[in-house]
Amino acid sequence: MFTHFQTQGFFLKKENKGEANQLLTIFTEDFGKIKILGRAIRKITSKLRPSADLFYLSEIEFIQGKNYKTLTDAFVIEKFKNLRKNPEKIIIVYKMTDAVETLCGEGQRDTKIWRLLFDGLQYLNNLNNCKTKIFYYFFLWNFFSLLGYKPELYSCCVCQRKLLPETFWFLPCEGGIVCWRCLKNFSAEQKEKTEEITVDAVKILRLLLKQDWKVLKLLKISVEDLKNVEKISFSYFKFLKEI
Ligand SMILES: [Zn+2]
């Protein structure tokens, strides 16, 4: 006899397997990120198909076999309709789920990441279009922080001095900021691993990391600062993917 497991989960990724099967990556409330086989799920007649689409939140039931888990039932709870009909939001949700898919280990329950994803998708679903990019960075940096990679944004990661409002550099491998005094002593190779970060971009990241969704409504951000945040985020994410 197989044991049946029940939980809620977000469908993050679907990969076709064989003629009609799919391997589904789901972030669940009780088991973290898991991969489940959807047998014959691509057939029109599949009863699982209507509740197992990308980015749906569904109640799911699965069994654990010797080698893999198999989806046995699914019931959709939330389809995030506003999100699905908006191309800009779809891009953001792909980026969010890519971060979770890339950086979360399998089978590790994490209620805080579950909550961030849950609140994040609801928030994005109802969000005004012009705030989607900064929303993504709110999600991403709080996600890094929950994974244990919260950056140090208040003191230099080399000399530990409190940062004064001057020019800084972000050092992904240290998860923090380097002051100009310390940067002077860096080799050319070390310097190459840093990214210049503006005082305002540091302030924005500090605010985002307060994990308060209300911040997003109040935050006004210039195109230049958004570009700088984008560059730092890309560089830190790239580093985290490689470790
Ligand atoms: Zn320093």
The tens digit of pLDDT for each residue in 93-120 reads 999 999 999 999 999 999 999 999 999 9
Complete domains list, the chain, with CATH: 4-78 (2.40.50.140), 151-243 (no CATH)
The 3-state DSSP class for residue 200 equals helix
Separation between Cα atoms, residue 107 and residue 208, nearest integer Å = 28
> How remote is the CA of residue 171 from the centroid of ligand 1, in Å?
12
What is the Cα Rg of the chain in Å? 21
The 3-state DSSP class for residue 44 equals coil
The DSSP H or E segment spanning 125 is helix 111-125
Q: Which residues contact 152 (CB under 8 A, 6 or more apart)?
A: 174, 175, 176, 177
* The CA-based dihedral angle spanning residues 224, 227, 228, 231, taken in that order and rounded to the nearest 10 degrees: -160
Predicted pLDDT at 166: 87
Predicted pLDDT at 217: 86
The residue written with tokens 């600062």 in the block is 225
> How remote is the CA of residue 175 from the centroid of ligand 1, in Å?
14
> How remote is the CA of residue 144 from the centroid of ligand 1, in Å?
23
The residue written with tokens 């890094």 in the block is 144
The tens digit of pLDDT for each residue in 130-164 reads 789 999 999 999 999 999 999 999 999 999 999 99
Low-confidence ranges of the chain (pLDDT < 50): none
Give, in order, the Cα–Cα distances in Å from 190 to each of 2, 47, 155, 175, 186: 54, 55, 19, 14, 6
> How remote is the CA of residue 32 from the centroid of ligand 1, in Å?
38
> How remote is the CA of residue 180 from the centroid of ligand 1, in Å?
7
The pTM score is 0.95
The residue written with tokens 């997003």 in the block is 216
> How remote is the CA of residue 160 from the centroid of ligand 1, in Å?
6
